[in-house]
Structure 1
Protein backbone atom coordinates (compact mmCIF):
# COMPACT_ATOMS: atom_id res chain seq x y z
CA UNK A 1 0.00 0.00 0.00
CA UNK A 2 2.82 2.32 0.80
CA UNK A 3 4.19 1.73 -2.75
CA UNK A 4 0.95 3.04 -4.31
CA UNK A 5 0.83 6.10 -2.12
CA UNK A 6 4.49 6.79 -2.82
CA UNK A 7 3.94 6.72 -6.64
CA UNK A 8 0.45 8.28 -6.74
CA UNK A 9 1.80 11.35 -8.62
CA UNK A 10 2.47 9.12 -11.69
CA UNK A 11 -1.19 8.25 -12.23
CA UNK A 12 -2.13 11.59 -13.91
CA UNK A 13 0.64 11.49 -16.57
CA UNK A 14 -0.01 7.81 -17.30
CA UNK A 15 -3.73 8.48 -17.76
CA UNK A 16 -2.95 11.50 -20.00
CA UNK A 17 -0.64 9.41 -22.21
CA UNK A 18 -3.23 6.64 -22.40
CA UNK A 19 -5.91 9.18 -23.41
CA UNK A 20 -3.70 10.67 -26.16
CA UNK A 21 -2.79 7.23 -27.56
CA UNK A 22 -6.41 6.09 -27.37
CA UNK A 23 -7.58 9.28 -29.11
CA UNK A 24 -4.97 8.82 -31.85
CA UNK A 25 -6.09 5.26 -32.59
CA UNK A 26 -9.75 6.31 -32.45
CA UNK A 27 -9.20 9.09 -34.99
CA UNK A 28 -7.04 6.87 -37.17
CA UNK A 29 -9.81 4.26 -37.33
CA UNK A 30 -12.27 6.94 -38.58
CA UNK A 31 -10.05 8.17 -41.42
CA UNK A 32 -11.04 6.70 -44.75
CA UNK A 33 -8.51 6.45 -47.55
CA UNK A 34 -8.93 8.81 -50.47
CA UNK A 35 -10.19 6.75 -53.42
CA UNK A 36 -7.90 6.67 -56.43
CA UNK A 37 -9.61 8.11 -59.48
CA UNK A 38 -8.05 7.83 -62.90
CA UNK A 39 -8.98 10.60 -65.26
CA UNK A 40 -9.22 9.48 -68.84
CA UNK A 41 -8.11 12.17 -71.25
CA UNK A 42 -9.37 12.02 -74.79
CA UNK A 43 -6.80 12.88 -77.39
CA UNK A 44 -8.48 15.61 -79.42
CA UNK A 45 -6.98 16.07 -82.85
CA UNK A 46 -7.60 19.30 -84.69
CA UNK A 47 -8.14 18.88 -88.41
CA UNK A 48 -8.05 22.21 -90.23
CA UNK A 49 -9.76 20.87 -93.36
CA UNK A 50 -12.64 19.39 -91.38
CA UNK A 51 -12.97 22.65 -89.53
CA UNK A 52 -13.18 24.64 -92.78
CA UNK A 53 -15.75 22.21 -94.20
CA UNK A 54 -17.89 22.60 -91.10
CA UNK A 55 -17.68 26.39 -91.37
CA UNK A 56 -18.80 26.31 -94.99
CA UNK A 57 -21.60 23.84 -94.28
CA UNK A 58 -22.98 25.71 -91.29
CA UNK A 59 -22.26 29.13 -92.72
CA UNK A 60 -22.55 30.78 -89.32
CA UNK A 61 -19.96 32.52 -87.15
CA UNK A 62 -18.46 31.07 -84.00
CA UNK A 63 -20.33 31.55 -80.79
CA UNK A 64 -18.71 31.76 -77.36
CA UNK A 65 -18.81 28.00 -76.80
CA UNK A 66 -17.38 27.34 -80.27
CA UNK A 67 -14.35 29.53 -79.57
CA UNK A 68 -13.83 27.78 -76.23
CA UNK A 69 -14.01 24.34 -77.85
CA UNK A 70 -11.58 25.46 -80.54
CA UNK A 71 -9.10 26.55 -77.85
CA UNK A 72 -9.42 23.15 -76.18
CA UNK A 73 -8.90 21.34 -79.49
CA UNK A 74 -5.89 23.41 -80.54
CA UNK A 75 -4.05 22.95 -77.22
CA UNK A 76 -3.22 20.29 -74.71
CA UNK A 77 -3.88 20.94 -71.05
CA UNK A 78 -1.73 19.91 -68.14
CA UNK A 79 -3.60 17.46 -65.92
CA UNK A 80 -5.88 19.27 -63.50
CA UNK A 81 -6.14 22.51 -65.47
CA UNK A 82 -9.58 24.11 -65.15
CA UNK A 83 -10.68 26.20 -68.14
CA UNK A 84 -14.47 25.88 -68.08
CA UNK A 85 -15.21 29.32 -66.58
CA UNK A 86 -12.80 31.36 -68.69
CA UNK A 87 -13.98 34.76 -69.79
CA UNK A 88 -14.81 34.76 -73.52
CA UNK A 89 -12.02 37.29 -74.14
CA UNK A 90 -9.52 34.80 -72.69
CA UNK A 91 -10.70 32.09 -75.09
CA UNK A 92 -10.05 34.49 -77.98
CA UNK A 93 -6.68 35.50 -76.52
CA UNK A 94 -5.77 31.83 -76.15
CA UNK A 95 -6.50 31.26 -79.85
CA UNK A 96 -4.24 34.22 -80.71
CA UNK A 97 -1.43 32.81 -78.57
CA UNK A 98 -1.85 29.43 -80.30
CA UNK A 99 -1.47 31.26 -83.61
CA UNK A 100 1.76 32.81 -82.32
CA UNK A 101 3.05 29.38 -81.28
CA UNK A 102 2.33 28.11 -84.80
CA UNK A 103 4.13 31.07 -86.40
CA UNK A 104 7.19 30.57 -84.21
CA UNK A 105 7.33 26.76 -83.90
CA UNK A 106 5.43 25.57 -86.97
CA UNK A 107 1.88 24.40 -87.58
CA UNK A 108 2.47 20.95 -86.08
CA UNK A 109 3.34 22.35 -82.65
CA UNK A 110 0.62 21.88 -80.01
CA UNK A 111 0.95 24.34 -77.09
CA UNK A 112 0.28 23.20 -73.52
CA UNK A 113 -1.85 25.27 -71.16
CA UNK A 114 -0.45 24.80 -67.67
CA UNK A 115 -2.89 26.90 -65.67
CA UNK A 116 -6.31 28.51 -65.82
CA UNK A 117 -8.30 28.87 -62.60
CA UNK A 118 -6.95 25.79 -60.88
CA UNK A 119 -3.63 26.35 -59.17
CA UNK A 120 -3.98 27.33 -55.48
CA UNK A 121 -0.58 29.04 -55.26
CA UNK A 122 -1.08 32.07 -57.51
CA UNK A 123 -0.77 35.49 -55.91
CA UNK A 124 -3.74 36.52 -53.75
CA UNK A 125 -5.25 38.92 -56.31
CA UNK A 126 -4.22 36.96 -59.39
CA UNK A 127 -6.29 37.29 -62.55
CA UNK A 128 -6.33 33.48 -62.63
CA UNK A 129 -8.95 33.50 -59.85
CA UNK A 130 -11.09 35.88 -61.93
CA UNK A 131 -10.91 33.54 -64.95
CA UNK A 132 -8.96 36.24 -66.76
CA UNK A 133 -5.52 34.62 -67.14
CA UNK A 134 -3.86 31.65 -68.84
CA UNK A 135 -0.39 30.15 -68.57
CA UNK A 136 1.36 28.39 -71.47
CA UNK A 137 4.38 26.09 -71.19
CA UNK A 138 7.46 27.53 -72.92
CA UNK A 139 10.26 25.86 -70.97
CA UNK A 140 10.74 23.32 -73.80
CA UNK A 141 11.25 26.03 -76.46
CA UNK A 142 14.70 27.29 -77.51
CA UNK A 143 15.59 30.60 -75.81
CA UNK A 144 15.43 32.71 -79.01
CA UNK A 145 12.00 31.22 -79.84
CA UNK A 146 10.70 32.10 -76.37
CA UNK A 147 11.63 35.75 -76.83
CA UNK A 148 10.08 35.83 -80.31
CA UNK A 149 6.88 34.21 -79.01
CA UNK A 150 6.49 36.66 -76.13
CA UNK A 151 7.00 39.68 -78.37
CA UNK A 152 4.65 38.37 -81.08
CA UNK A 153 1.93 37.51 -78.55
CA UNK A 154 2.07 40.98 -77.00
CA UNK A 155 1.82 42.60 -80.44
CA UNK A 156 -1.12 40.42 -81.52
CA UNK A 157 -3.07 40.84 -78.28
CA UNK A 158 -2.55 44.57 -78.02
CA UNK A 159 -3.41 46.92 -75.18
CA UNK A 160 -6.26 44.83 -73.68
CA UNK A 161 -3.87 42.10 -72.52
CA UNK A 162 -0.61 41.79 -70.62
CA UNK A 163 1.83 39.11 -71.77
CA UNK A 164 4.55 38.19 -69.28
CA UNK A 165 7.49 35.85 -69.64
CA UNK A 166 7.61 34.46 -66.11
CA UNK A 167 11.04 32.99 -65.57
CA UNK A 168 12.29 30.75 -62.80
CA UNK A 169 11.64 27.18 -61.76
CA UNK A 170 8.21 27.01 -63.44
CA UNK A 171 8.97 29.16 -66.51
CA UNK A 172 5.86 29.93 -68.55
CA UNK A 173 4.07 32.50 -70.70
CA UNK A 174 1.42 34.33 -68.67
CA UNK A 175 -1.43 36.06 -70.52
CA UNK A 176 -3.96 38.15 -68.61
CA UNK A 177 -6.85 40.41 -69.47
CA UNK A 178 -6.40 43.99 -68.25
CA UNK A 179 -9.23 46.01 -66.69
Structure 2
Protein backbone atom coordinates (compact mmCIF):
# COMPACT_ATOMS: atom_id res chain seq x y z
CA UNK A 1 0.00 0.00 0.00
CA UNK A 2 2.86 2.29 0.80
CA UNK A 3 4.24 1.81 -2.73
CA UNK A 4 0.86 2.80 -4.19
CA UNK A 5 0.64 5.99 -2.13
CA UNK A 6 4.26 6.82 -2.87
CA UNK A 7 3.70 6.64 -6.67
CA UNK A 8 0.14 8.02 -6.80
CA UNK A 9 1.31 11.14 -8.67
CA UNK A 10 2.18 8.92 -11.67
CA UNK A 11 -1.37 7.60 -11.99
CA UNK A 12 -2.82 10.66 -13.83
CA UNK A 13 -0.17 10.79 -16.60
CA UNK A 14 -0.37 7.02 -17.13
CA UNK A 15 -4.19 7.17 -17.41
CA UNK A 16 -3.90 10.10 -19.84
CA UNK A 17 -1.47 8.16 -22.03
CA UNK A 18 -3.71 5.09 -21.97
CA UNK A 19 -6.74 7.24 -22.89
CA UNK A 20 -4.87 8.87 -25.79
CA UNK A 21 -3.77 5.47 -27.04
CA UNK A 22 -7.37 4.23 -26.81
CA UNK A 23 -8.66 7.21 -28.80
CA UNK A 24 -5.92 6.66 -31.39
CA UNK A 25 -6.94 3.01 -31.76
CA UNK A 26 -10.62 3.99 -32.17
CA UNK A 27 -9.76 6.48 -34.88
CA UNK A 28 -7.56 3.97 -36.70
CA UNK A 29 -10.23 1.27 -36.47
CA UNK A 30 -12.76 3.60 -38.12
CA UNK A 31 -11.02 4.03 -41.48
CA UNK A 32 -13.96 3.12 -43.67
CA UNK A 33 -13.96 4.81 -47.08
CA UNK A 34 -16.42 7.67 -47.53
CA UNK A 35 -19.29 6.43 -49.69
CA UNK A 36 -19.56 8.13 -53.08
CA UNK A 37 -22.93 9.76 -53.67
CA UNK A 38 -24.09 9.94 -57.26
CA UNK A 39 -27.33 11.90 -57.66
CA UNK A 40 -29.70 10.47 -60.22
CA UNK A 41 -29.70 12.41 -63.46
CA UNK A 42 -33.26 12.97 -64.56
CA UNK A 43 -33.59 13.57 -68.27
CA UNK A 44 -36.26 16.21 -68.67
CA UNK A 45 -37.72 16.85 -72.07
CA UNK A 46 -38.50 20.44 -72.90
CA UNK A 47 -40.88 21.42 -75.63
CA UNK A 48 -41.89 24.82 -76.93
CA UNK A 49 -45.58 23.84 -76.76
CA UNK A 50 -45.31 22.98 -73.07
CA UNK A 51 -43.51 26.24 -72.42
CA UNK A 52 -46.19 28.32 -74.18
CA UNK A 53 -48.98 26.41 -72.45
CA UNK A 54 -47.27 27.04 -69.13
CA UNK A 55 -47.01 30.77 -69.89
CA UNK A 56 -50.72 30.97 -70.65
CA UNK A 57 -51.80 29.13 -67.50
CA UNK A 58 -50.54 31.39 -64.75
CA UNK A 59 -48.20 34.29 -64.12
CA UNK A 60 -44.63 33.47 -63.13
CA UNK A 61 -43.41 33.98 -59.62
CA UNK A 62 -39.84 33.69 -58.40
CA UNK A 63 -40.05 29.92 -57.84
CA UNK A 64 -41.51 29.32 -61.32
CA UNK A 65 -38.75 31.34 -63.00
CA UNK A 66 -36.16 29.31 -61.07
CA UNK A 67 -37.83 26.05 -62.11
CA UNK A 68 -37.91 27.19 -65.73
CA UNK A 69 -34.18 27.96 -65.60
CA UNK A 70 -33.47 24.48 -64.20
CA UNK A 71 -35.70 22.91 -66.83
CA UNK A 72 -34.18 24.74 -69.79
CA UNK A 73 -30.58 24.02 -68.79
CA UNK A 74 -28.50 21.10 -67.64
CA UNK A 75 -26.34 21.48 -64.58
CA UNK A 76 -22.90 20.04 -64.05
CA UNK A 77 -23.02 17.55 -61.13
CA UNK A 78 -22.59 19.35 -57.84
CA UNK A 79 -23.76 22.77 -59.04
CA UNK A 80 -25.71 24.62 -56.35
CA UNK A 81 -28.28 27.13 -57.66
CA UNK A 82 -30.92 27.11 -54.93
CA UNK A 83 -30.00 30.37 -53.19
CA UNK A 84 -29.46 32.54 -56.26
CA UNK A 85 -30.74 36.09 -56.21
CA UNK A 86 -34.06 36.34 -58.09
CA UNK A 87 -32.50 38.53 -60.78
CA UNK A 88 -30.00 35.75 -61.51
CA UNK A 89 -32.79 33.36 -62.53
CA UNK A 90 -34.12 35.94 -64.99
CA UNK A 91 -30.58 36.56 -66.25
CA UNK A 92 -30.13 32.82 -66.75
CA UNK A 93 -33.29 32.65 -68.88
CA UNK A 94 -31.98 35.52 -71.04
CA UNK A 95 -28.61 33.80 -71.52
CA UNK A 96 -30.43 30.58 -72.49
CA UNK A 97 -32.36 32.63 -75.07
CA UNK A 98 -29.06 33.87 -76.51
CA UNK A 99 -27.77 30.30 -76.76
CA UNK A 100 -30.99 29.28 -78.53
CA UNK A 101 -30.80 32.16 -81.02
CA UNK A 102 -27.24 31.27 -81.97
CA UNK A 103 -27.28 27.46 -81.63
CA UNK A 104 -30.95 26.65 -82.28
CA UNK A 105 -33.82 25.74 -79.96
CA UNK A 106 -32.64 22.15 -79.51
CA UNK A 107 -29.39 23.21 -77.83
CA UNK A 108 -29.43 22.84 -74.02
CA UNK A 109 -26.86 25.05 -72.26
CA UNK A 110 -24.96 23.67 -69.26
CA UNK A 111 -24.52 25.68 -66.06
CA UNK A 112 -21.12 24.78 -64.65
CA UNK A 113 -21.08 26.88 -61.48
CA UNK A 114 -23.31 28.84 -59.14
CA UNK A 115 -22.40 29.09 -55.45
CA UNK A 116 -20.79 25.67 -55.17
CA UNK A 117 -17.12 25.74 -56.00
CA UNK A 118 -14.75 26.67 -53.15
CA UNK A 119 -11.92 27.78 -55.45
CA UNK A 120 -13.34 30.97 -56.97
CA UNK A 121 -11.45 34.19 -56.35
CA UNK A 122 -11.73 35.50 -52.79
CA UNK A 123 -14.23 38.30 -53.54
CA UNK A 124 -16.08 36.45 -56.29
CA UNK A 125 -19.74 37.28 -56.87
CA UNK A 126 -20.35 33.51 -56.84
CA UNK A 127 -20.18 33.63 -53.03
CA UNK A 128 -22.84 36.37 -53.00
CA UNK A 129 -25.17 34.25 -55.19
CA UNK A 130 -24.76 36.87 -57.92
CA UNK A 131 -22.81 34.98 -60.61
CA UNK A 132 -23.20 31.93 -62.83
CA UNK A 133 -20.94 30.15 -65.29
CA UNK A 134 -22.15 28.59 -68.54
CA UNK A 135 -20.24 25.97 -70.52
CA UNK A 136 -19.06 27.34 -73.83
CA UNK A 137 -16.39 24.76 -74.77
CA UNK A 138 -18.88 22.67 -76.77
CA UNK A 139 -19.98 25.70 -78.84
CA UNK A 140 -18.17 26.14 -82.19
CA UNK A 141 -15.42 28.77 -81.96
CA UNK A 142 -17.06 31.15 -84.45
CA UNK A 143 -20.28 31.30 -82.38
CA UNK A 144 -18.78 31.85 -78.91
CA UNK A 145 -18.16 35.57 -79.39
CA UNK A 146 -21.64 35.99 -80.84
CA UNK A 147 -23.22 34.41 -77.74
CA UNK A 148 -21.11 36.53 -75.36
CA UNK A 149 -21.87 39.80 -77.17
CA UNK A 150 -25.58 39.01 -77.57
CA UNK A 151 -25.86 38.13 -73.87
CA UNK A 152 -24.19 41.41 -72.85
CA UNK A 153 -26.52 43.38 -75.15
CA UNK A 154 -29.65 41.63 -73.82
CA UNK A 155 -28.67 41.93 -70.15
CA UNK A 156 -27.63 45.56 -70.27
CA UNK A 157 -25.51 47.48 -67.75
CA UNK A 158 -26.81 45.65 -64.67
CA UNK A 159 -24.82 42.51 -65.62
CA UNK A 160 -21.29 41.87 -66.81
CA UNK A 161 -20.63 39.01 -69.26
CA UNK A 162 -17.07 37.70 -69.38
CA UNK A 163 -15.82 35.08 -71.82
CA UNK A 164 -13.13 33.48 -69.66
CA UNK A 165 -10.67 31.60 -71.84
CA UNK A 166 -8.06 29.05 -70.86
CA UNK A 167 -8.18 25.42 -69.81
CA UNK A 168 -11.57 25.90 -68.09
CA UNK A 169 -13.16 28.10 -70.75
CA UNK A 170 -16.66 29.30 -69.83
CA UNK A 171 -19.05 32.23 -69.99
CA UNK A 172 -19.11 34.04 -66.63
CA UNK A 173 -22.13 36.28 -65.97
CA UNK A 174 -22.34 38.39 -62.81
CA UNK A 175 -24.45 41.20 -61.38
CA UNK A 176 -22.66 44.53 -61.27
CA UNK A 177 -24.61 46.31 -58.52
CA UNK A 178 -24.35 43.82 -55.63
CA UNK A 179 -23.23 45.37 -52.33
CA UNK A 180 -19.86 44.24 -51.12
TM-score normalized by structure 2?
0.82
- Note the 1:1-179 alignment, pairs <5 A: 27-56=27-56, 58=57, 60-179=58-177
Structure-2 separation of matches of 1:25 and 1:170: 43
For these two proteins, the number of residue pairs brought into alignment is 157
Q: CA deviation at 1:24?
A: 7.2
- Give the gaps of 5 or more residues in structure 1: 1-21
Query: Per-residue CA shift, 1:20-39, capped at 9, x if unaligned?
Result: xx997664223332123221
Give secondary structure in 2 for the equivalent of 1:95.
helix
Structure-1 separation of matches of 2:34 and 2:104: 43
Of 61-70 and 45-54, the range deviating more from structure 2? 45-54
Structure-1 separation of matches of 2:136 and 2:54: 32
- Give the gaps of 5 or more residues in structure 2: 1-21
4+ aligned runs moved over 4 Å, structure 1: 22-26
Q: CA deviation at 1:141?
A: 1.3
In the other structure, the counterpart of 1:17 is none
